[in-house]
A and B are shown apart, each in its own frame.
Chain A
Amino acid sequence: MTEATLQPATPSAAMIRTLGLVATVCGVLIVTAYEGTLDAVNANKKLALERAVFKVIPGAAKVDEYFATPAGIQPAATGTPEGGVKFYAAYDQAGTLKGIAAEGAGKGYADTVRILYAYDPARQVVTGFGVVAMRETPGIGDKIYTDPAFLKNFEALDVKLSADLKSLANAVKVVKHGSKQNAWEIDAIAGATVTSKAVGRGINDSAQKLLPLLVPNLEKLNAAPQSRVSAFPPIAKGGEGGFEAAPTPSSTQNPPQPPFTKGGSDLASPRQEASS
């Protein structure tokens, strides 16, 4: 017991040697673990992303990540461009574009509510959303994905662009419970207004940024699913035929505003038609 006080101090060299040994062992362990799990982690991440996208875009079978930039659309694999907005293009088995998914975030009651919403380019509407992460009060805030009346808002939420394609024609707005009148309004959940507003703001902020960049370039997505392009040329049933596979009453009331024809690769064409 008393030897502790008498024991001479360990020489520095020994300490450095030990720490070096420990650091080496630990380094080897970490690198081994990293290398060993890398593939599985990446596969998991891809799977999780796909699952989230497939949930909001039924019928999709494949997801590609893109960035929308003022200069056009580029696949995410080529790097993260400055000022780019990330989105996901979902294709079905045949390689037809089923819809676009993008992330939105709005300040909720407890923390930021992060959602993934689905955008139908043909009808220019939001067709659904899923929660990516939130810390809202269970039993109250989670009504945003359990309350059928609230989810009905997102069957065809109007996000069409204004004539100049610079912003949404009508900003997505959350209104008090029971007072929804227009297709771009969201009827809030009574008692969970703050969380409802977070969803609405998340969609609005993201759509205001993404859609003006995305819509003029939709052509490219229609024609070019990243990896399936050669195997399944999307000519046979491509374009609008795919979107109208699941008709809803509102799809006839909301005809596609700037018509995206299959043929034209001229990026300016939707702009011209919309302004005419």
Chain B
Amino acid sequence: MNEPLRLELRTSPHVVKDNSVERIMFHVVLALLPIAAFSVWQYGLSALALLVTVTGTCLLTERLFNRLGGTASTLSDWSATITGLLLALTLPPAFPLWMGAVAGFTAIALGKALFGGIGFNVLNPALVGRAFVQAAFPVAITTWIPAFSAQRFSEFAPTTFTLPFMTPPDIGDWARAAVDGFTGATPLARWKFENVLAAPGDFLSGAVTASAGETSAILILLCGLYLAVRRFLDWRIPVAVLGSAALTAWVFQMIDPARYPDPLFVLLSGGLMIGAVFMATDMATSPVTPKGVWLYGALIGVVTVMIRYFGGLTEGVMYAILIGNALAPLIDQVTQPRVFGAAKGKKA
């Protein structure tokens, strides 16, 4: 097909080099690669297989819906790749591949394609996929494997190649054989149910039980910093999310230090880091007004801590961000800046 000649009419300033969607997305992919690589180094072949499967399913689904809708391929805008990578990084490394494929399909189909593709989605597609499999397979999504096991590059976790539609086998014995004294509980679960706090050092070295991409706080922050410096993401969102989460945690610790953990634990555990840096910042699903951005970030941080402390689940980042996404249009509306010169109290 011949592209028609495009004449763009716009007012000044005329930026010479445009920040196209493709360019931003490509850099986000670049920033995600070190985190993905770290998770593979940590968890070995199973994590790699999951990354490839989920991302592949996302790309195939995107292509399928391009076909059905009769539109040009949107694979080259990298957004499906990001969704796939992010989704895989939030899943347990030993998640059965067929469930990963279900998550990937749901993420793109339900989270994105049904709304009209990139830019029209209301919710973060990766989190839609994760929320679906969380509701569908509650056991598999909380089955974790130990990090840095000796055989991680020579064998897959027994659950990885579960046949489609079949229940994954119990991996307790396998995991205990690989790493002595492995409990299979995340630091958040151990805090919630056993009142055991993990040492901050464990989080930094990645020696904790968690989803593939949740363990490397420093790496996530560095990659986020790169994107923020290059202005590919709005630095205010992660700052607001992490800041409000830390503040809420601090307030609770003031009230009852014996019961509530310190803010550092709240920041480092679970998916808060990767959620704040890579998911809450999704441009299509976050507010655009300056005040709205702060409000949105703060809301996610507070809701995350509330779910962790008072909810039935151990981790609340996913639902907190989805709630934030759903409220983003409303936040935009109520934080609309006043048009310069307009009378006070009048609707713009």
Residues of A that sit less than 8 Å from B by CB: 139-140
Q: With a CB–CB cut-off of 8 A, which chain B residues contact A140?
A: 138
Interchain Cβ contacts under 8 Å between A and B, 3 examples: A139-B138, A139-B139, A140-B138
The 3 A-B residue pairs with the shortest CB-CB distance in the complex, in nearest-first order? A140-B138, A139-B138, A139-B139
How many angstroms from the CA of A35 to the CA of B233 in the assembled complex?
Answer: 73
Our count of residue pairs bridging A and B at CB distance below 8 angstroms stands at 3
Per the 8 Å Cβ criterion, residues 138-153 of B in contact with A are: 138-139
- Across-interface contacts of B139 in A (CB, < 8 A): 139
Please name all residues of chain B whose beta carbon is closer than 8 Å to the beta carbon of A139 when the two chains form the complex. Answer: 138-139
Residues in A neighbouring B138, C-beta threshold 8 A? 139-140
In the assembled complex, how far is the CB of residue B43 from the closest CB belonging to chain A, in whole angstroms? 23
Q: Min CB distance, B167 to chain A, in Å?
A: 11
CA distance A140 to B142 in the complex (A): 13
Nearest A-chain residue to B142, judged by Cβ? A191
A135 to chain B, nearest CB (A): 16
State A94–B139 Cα separation when bound (angstroms): 47
Q: In whole angstroms, what is the CA distance A139 to B138 when docked?
A: 8
Chain A nearest CB: distance from B142 CB in Å? 8
Q: How far is the CA of A139 from the CA of B141 in the complex (A)?
A: 14
- Closest residue of chain A to B136 (Cβ to Cβ) is A139
CB closest chain-B residue, reference A176: B193
Interface string of B202-215 (1 = CB under 8 A from A): 00000000000000
**Distance between A8 CB and nearest chain B CB, rounded to angstroms:** 52
Q: How far is the CB of B153 from chain A (nearest CB, A)?
A: 32
CA distance A139 to B139 in the complex (A): 9
Q: Which of B64-115 contact A (CB under 8 A)?
A: none
Of all chain A residues, which has the CB nearest B139? A139
A160–B33 Cα distance when bound, in Å, is 64
CA distance A140 to B139 in the complex (A): 9
B138 to chain A, nearest CB (A): 6
Q: Within the complex, what minimum Cβ distance (angstroms) separates A134 from chain B?
A: 17
A interface footprint on B245-272 (CB within 8 Å = 1, 0 otherwise) = 0000000000000000000000000000
Report how far A199 CA is from B138 CA in the complex, Å: 22
Question: With A and B bound together, what is the CA distance between A139 and B167 in angstroms?
Answer: 12
Minimum CB–CB distance for A162 against chain B, Å: 34
Which residue of A has the minimal Cβ distance to B137? A139
Cα–Cα distance between A139 and B137 once the two chains are bound (Å): 9
* A190 closest partner in B (C-beta): B193
Q: What is the minimal beta-carbon distance from B86 to any residue of chain A, in angstroms?
A: 26
Docked pose: A139 CA to B140 CA in angstroms? 12
Q: Which residue of B lies closest to A193 (CB)?
A: B193
Q: Smallest distance from the beta carbon of B312 to chain A beta carbons, Å?
A: 8
**Beta-carbon contacts of B115-147 to A below 8 Å, as 1s and 0s?**
000000000000000000000001100000000
Report the Cα distance A198→B236, complex, angstroms.
46
Distance in Å: Cβ of B227 to nearest Cβ of chain A:
38
The minimal Cβ–Cβ distance linking A140 to chain B, given in whole angstroms, is: 6
Tell me the smallest distance from the CB of A176 to a CB of chain B, in Å. 9
CB distance from A10 to the nearest CB of B (A): 51
**Complex Cα spacing A176 to B139, Å:** 19
For the complex, what is the distance from the CA of A193 to the CA of B287, rounded to whole Å? Answer: 40
